[in-house]
Amino acid sequence: MVTRGRPQPGSTSQPKAPPKPFAWDHASERGLSYGDLLRLLEERLEAAKSDKEYTYLAALYIQLRNGCRVSEAARALLVFAKTGSRKLRVPVSKRKDKLERLVLIPSNVEYRRVSWLAEEFKRKPLERATKVLATRVKVFSQRVLGINTHSLRYAFITYLASQGVAPQLIAKITGHARLDYILHYTQRLAAEDLLEKLVLGGNENSQR
């Protein structure tokens, strides 16, 4: 008798592995909203004493404002430091189809504070320079701010979803190839909002 779902003697087939969790499920963030992160980074940018610290903060700020990956923000910042252009198209990371996305450098990111990058990396190919800078920014973010850089992208997507932006449009902005990555979070956000309204009447600060 064949027992459904179990491998038979002599069979080389293995049970299917459980689905891989979404990367955002492991984002090490401190429970900060998009607005919280925006204020934090703007305050740190204003207070930054060295150009190096300012530059790393600027990369994180660009990532948050554009909802991009840290490598995309790093590449945009390197090109900005070289050309001064604030409207850039960069290759979307983890895409094999060579898709590019728009990354904008906010007006409050000062060119003079990040221009040292052009000299620092002038002998390195852009791809290599991007990897080096992205790694530095990741380490800085984790050690100094206690924030996983991917949580900035998550905060941006969550913010857009809370504003009623369609998942399809969010995916176009962020460069996601699979819409289910976006739906996973926008649907969860909508479900939690609905539960909150049903239980607390829309007052999240209500107490028993």
Question: What pLDDT was estimated at residue 25?
Answer: 41
Band (pLDDT 50/70/90 cuts) for residue 1 is very low
In angstroms, rounded to a whole number, what is the distance separating the alpha carbons of residues 36 and 33?
A: 5
Do 74 and 122 reside in the same domain of the chain? yes
pLDDT tens across 157-172, in order? 889 888 888 888 888 8
Do 63 and 129 reside in the same domain of the chain? yes
Q: What's the mean pLDDT when you consider all of the chain?
A: 83
Give 113-135 as a DSSP string: HHTHHHHHTTTS-HHHHHHHHHH
Catalytically active residues, by annotation? 69, 94, 150, 153, 176, 185
Mean pLDDT, rounded, for 88-97: 83
> What is the span of the domain harbouring residue 175?
156-200
Do 44 and 83 reside in the same domain of the chain? yes
Supply the angle between the helices 70-83 and 51-66 in degrees, to the nearest 10. Answer: 120
Q: Is the pLDDT of residue 114 over 50?
A: yes
Do 168 and 194 reside in the same domain of the chain? yes
Mean pLDDT, rounded, for 2-29: 47
Do 58 and 111 reside in the same domain of the chain? yes
In the chain, which ranges are E strands?
87-91, 100-104
Q: What is the pTM of this model?
A: 0.77
What is the identity of the amino acid at 125?
P
Q: Is the pLDDT of residue 207 over 50?
A: no
Question: What pLDDT was estimated at residue 40?
Answer: 97
Q: Is the pLDDT of residue 2 over 60?
A: no
Contact status, residue 93 vs residue 71, Cβ threshold 8 Å:
yes
Do 161 and 141 reside in the same domain of the chain? no
Question: What pLDDT was estimated at residue 202?
Answer: 57
- Residue 38 in any domain: the answer is yes
Total number of domains in the chain: 2
Question: What pLDDT was estimated at residue 8?
Answer: 53
- Residue 53 in any domain: the answer is yes
- Residue 9 in any domain: the answer is no
